[in-house]
Structure 1
Amino acid sequence: MNPHLLLRLPEHPDQPVYWLLFSTETSNEEQCIANGSWPTASDFIAEYADTTVTSGMLSGQPIAAMTATVLVPAARVTLHTLSLQGRLTPAVRQSLPWRLEEELSDDVEDLHFAILHHGDNQAHLAVMQQADMAQWQGWLMDAGVISKRWVPDALMLPVEENQCRLLTIDDLIIARYGQWQIAACESQWLTLFMEGLKKEQPELEFSEAELHSASPLTLLAPQASNTQLNLLQGQWQPASPWHQRLLPWWSSALMASLLFIMLTVNSVLDTHQLEQTAASYQQQANGIYQQLFPGERVVRLQSQMRQKLAALQQPEESSKSMLTMLARITPVLNTFPELKANSMAFSVNDRDGARQSLRIQAQASDFELFTRFREQFEKELNRGSDKGLTIAIEALERTGDKVTGMLVISGGVS
């Protein structure tokens, strides 16, 4: 038996939270092991940890020990489709929310965007309030829920051509009438909702789910057990278990590494040489940081850089290689103050780490500046010791009076 826990969060704190424990060996609703609900979000937080299975082979086991798939109310989520040419690069991913700006009634900064699927020159996005994401996460954390996947509840309804599937949860009706078309309305507005949808799609037929158990989640369980959709992206992406386990030891490991380096260097250099070297490195590091993050004041460089590296979630050795590459390319960057770096991403392209790439999203006033930068970069490499590095420019596009592009610097760093 492979049990799976499904939780459905409400739209408001005073509404019920439903749960369903089912077997993923088959998709039949008869495989429901146990189900229940809590009257409000407060009851859910207070009682979740003590809730146990009361029958079957898992009788007595707490549901809190199981990883849950979380369903969020479709009434708080909207789906959008955008045309997308080419690859989904980081620069393109960052531009998608702004392409929807005119369709949204809220500021882009107040919304969370999750890419559910991209292909066939289209990207399908889910949009919801950052405040809703924070509220749901607060409920789950306070209750002690283990979850790595959130999905809109209506997207777990079965989908059929020219069919609108309806499911009643309390006084709310959720609907799915296409692969990427969902809706939710109160039961009193169902007739108006159906009439409006029928005008847009005359061939559409409506069918309301008939439940054979006490839980409305039984119809959603088959799709929820196999879905790859996930709203937890970007800042809401869950940290890896290894990262969480190693985090308490990070400060100790960092201090031990610094102490070892200082003792080694001190055996070779005298105090005066150390002071000169430290001052030189500090100045170079400050210059690199200000070049990469213009406008940010350097207060505690080491702490600020650790935060930036942690955000990139790169291994320790990759971080060192990244800094080495940055140190080599900074002299060229300094000769182009008009070229502003907005963000960067570093990756290792093979197992032995012999080839890395640094992707810098930059902004300038025209296309020619990117070309002159590449020519100067290649010129510096040909007369220097960094012939193993190459540069390419990708995803150039103009927005208003600004031109953005991706500088891709690749090669081996020793």
Structure 2
Amino acid sequence: MSEVLYIRLNSHADAPIWWLIWSNVEREIIASGELLSAEQLSTLSDKADHRKVVVIVPSQDVTLKSVNVPGKSSRAHKAVVPYMLEDELTEDVDELFFAYSNTKIADEDNNCFIAVVKRQLFRDWLQCLQAANIKCQLMIPEILAMPLEADGWSVAQVDEQIIVRQGQWRGMTLDTSLWTFACEQWLMEDGTPSIASYTTLPNTPEGLVVEQKPQEMLLTLIAQSGQSQFNLLQGEFSVKDDRSPIVKTWAMAAGICLVALLLSLGQKGAALFQLKAQQAQIEQQIIDTYIGAFPETKRVRVSTIRSQLKRKMSGIGSGVNEQSFLMLLSKLGNAYTQVPTFTTTSIKFDSKRGEIRLTASARDYQAFDKFKGELEKMNLLVTQGAQNNQGDLVTGSLSIKERS
């Protein structure tokens, strides 16, 4: 975003809050102001819309630490660092939040850089912003937002405190009353650095090199110096992804399309399931019909019934015309239905005469007569052969063909 809203929170909700809108394109201030307390943050909610929001928090509430942790696993670092620093911190580590930086410093022996904040204070800051309907994307301690001088320190006075950035991951916050004493201590040390001052400072002892920079308000100085890559908002306080209205619209459209696709697939799946059920039913009917015609068959598969029928037809007679035989045989089906006691024991087909010859058995002579009558209703010519009694059954033969 080309415009950024900077908000400097305070340690206490009833303390003043500064804000500033900065244009990255024009490199100038668009608007700025001061709120009496956190209760007035809601007046900035409109200004926060469609702008990136960067929150600056007091350095006195953030402790910067660096340690040397064996190994390269960031997960292992996060597990062990709080307990490595336990003796150096005044609060219980369970009440503190640890934010980690990917900072790399060439001449630094340590490999893990940490910012420590009281967890409850962190929650208070976020609750104030949430109550004001302000979504913050970046939260930076004052020290790390100050200009980083290549060969010295950068200093700025804010109210009754002085912020000192001493390096990429070093700094301090002093009360103005301690400034002179701190300068004297620095002068007693070897390699006293030069200081770039961006505001008016209290009395500075002679011997300390101070370069006076153009005086700027703290938020203006931070905006001009560029944003730090470090973000306190991580882990349990990570920024939740907030989609733009356009993305939400496209996501909704995609969701509707997905629902339509799922409904379509569901309908097609249901239709396919129904077709498969019908196919299974038809296949079972074919198998049942085949077993009914050839009860001696033990194993039947739909895929092999055609080849089995061909083998059986080859045993009916030589030179069988499959089409004429099947057409004639299909007409016999109704007669079998009408005379269920009529059972065929053998069947032959004479392709030259176009004639089926049946050997059958039934309970009585009337069954033969009825079977013959049903065939004649279909305009078939039926010649009945000799019939004999064999125990409780009557056996006989029939010759059947189409009337010419």
TM-score normalized by structure 1? Answer: 0.51
Q: Which residue of 2 aligns with 1:70?
A: 55
Q: Identity over the aligned pairs, expressed in percent? A: 27
Contact 2:3 2:21 in 1 (8 A): yes
Structure-2 residue corresponding to 1:106 = 91
Question: 1:192-245 CA deviation, whole Å, 9 max, x = no partner?
Answer: 23233444454222332148677321111133x4421101111111222269x9
| Distance apart, 1:64 and its partner CA | 4.3
Report the Cα distance in structure 2 between the residues aligned to 1:88 and 1:201, rounded to whole angstroms.
37
In structure 2, C-alpha distance between the alignment counterparts of 1:73 and 1:126, rounded to whole Å: 12
Instruction: Find the counterpart in structure 2 of residue 391 from structure 1.
Output: none
Question: What CA distance in whole angstroms lies between the structure 1 residues aligned with 2:188 and 2:12?
Answer: 31
More relative contact order in 1 or in 2 (CA 8 Å, sep 6+)? 1
Please give the per-residue CA displacement for 1:119-148, whole angstroms capped at 9, x wherever unaligned.
Answer: 466111111111110111111111121212
Structure 1 counterpart of 2:218, which letter? P
Say which of 16, 21, 35 aligns to 1:38: 35
Indicate whether 1:91 and 2:80 are aligned. Answer: no
Partner amino acid, structure 1, of 2:101: L
What is the alpha-carbon distance in structure 1 between the residues aligned to residue 115 and residue 87 of structure 2?
Answer: 16
Aligned to 2:66: 81
The structure-2 alpha-carbon separation of the partners of 1:147 and 1:190, relative to structure 1 and needing over 3 Å to count, comes to same
Maintained 8 Å contact 2:155/2:162:
yes
Cα offsets for 1:311-368 (capped at 9, x unmatched): xxxxxxxxxxxxxxxxxxxxxxxxxxxxxxxxxxxxxxxxxxxxxxxxxxxxxxxxxx
Aligned residue among 219, 224, 238 for 2:221? 219
**Secondary structure of 1:146's aligned partner:** coil
CA drift of 1:73 comes to 0.4
| 1:185 Cα deviation after fit | 1.8
Shift of 1:88: 2.7
Asked whether the 8 Å contact 2:16–2:38 carries over to 1, the reply is yes
C-alpha displacement of 1:83: 1.2
Correspondence 1:117 to 2:102: yes
Match of 2:141 in 1: 152
The CA distance in 1 between the partners of 2:186 and 2:124, in whole Å, is: 31
CA–CA distance in structure 1, aligned partners of residues 186 and 122 of structure 2: 29
**Given the superposition, is the C-alpha separation of residues 237 and 8 from structure 1 closer, same or farther in structure 2, using an over 3 Å criterion?**
same
After superposition, where does 1:4-403 map in structure 2 within 5 Å? 4-25=4-25, 31-43=28-40, 45-49=41-45, 62-119=47-104, 122-200=111-189, 202-210=191-199, 215-223=217-225, 225-241=226-242
For 2:90 and 2:53, the matched residues in 1 are separated by 32
Letter of the 2:43 counterpart: E
SS at match of 1:228: coil
Partner of 2:366: none
Q: Give secondary structure in 1 for the equivalent of 2:137.
A: strand
Instruction: Give the letter for the 2:16 counterpart.
Output: P
Per-residue CA deviations over 1:361-404 (Å, capped at 9, x if unaligned) read xxxxxxxxxxxxxxxxxxxxxxxxxxxxxxxxxxxxxxxxxxxx
CA contact (8 A) 2:14 2:37 kept: yes
Cα distance, 1:198–1:77 mapped onto 2, change above 3 Å: farther
> In structure 2, what residue type is equivalent to 1:215?
M
Q: With structure 2 as the length reference, what TM-score do the two structures score?
A: 0.52
Whether the 8 Å CA contact 1:16–1:38 is kept in 2: the answer is yes
1:173 is displaced (CA, Å) by 1.5
Aligned counterpart, 2:3: 3
Gaps of 5+ in 2: 201-213, 253-258, 264-268, 274-404
Determine helix, strand or coil for the equivalent of 1:220.
Answer: helix
Check the 8 A contact 2:199/2:216 in 1, yes or no: no
In structure 2, C-alpha distance between the alignment counterparts of 1:78 and 1:200, rounded to whole Å: 23
Contact 2:99 2:114 in 1 (8 A): yes
Q: Deviations over 1:254-304 (max 9, x none)?
A: xx9xxx9xxx9xxx9xxxxxxxxxxxxxxxxxxxxxxxxxxxxxxxxxxxx
Pick closer, same or farther for the CA change 1:91–1:133 going to 2, 3 Å: same
- The count of aligned residue pairs is 244
Unaligned 5+ residue runs, structure 1?
Answer: 51-61, 250-255, 269-414
Residue 136 of structure 2 aligns to a residue in which SS? strand
**Deviation of residue 35 (structure 1)?**
1.3
Structure 1 residue 155 displacement after superposition: 1.2
Query: What is the rounded CA distance, in whole Å, between the counterparts of 1:34 and 1:221 in structure 2?
Result: 13
Provide closer, same or farther for how the CA distance between residues 237 and 193 of structure 1 changes in structure 2, counting only shifts above 3 A: same
**Which structure has the greater CA radius of gyration?**
2
Cα distance in 2 between the residues matched to 1:105 and 1:69: 29
**1:150 match: secondary structure:** strand
Paired with 1:213 and 1:144, the residues of 2 have a C-alpha distance of 33
Distance of 1:207 and 1:127 partners within structure 2: 27
1-side partners of 2:196 and 2:121: how far apart?
30
Counterparts of 1:219 and 1:16, CA distance in 2: 19
Shift of 1:94: 1.5
User: Alpha carbon RMSD of aligned pairs, Å?
Assistant: 3.6
SS of equivalent to 2:15: coil
Residues 66 and 146 of structure 1 are in contact (CA less than 8 Å); yes or no, is this contact kept in structure 2?
no
Q: Secondary structure at the match of 2:97?
A: strand
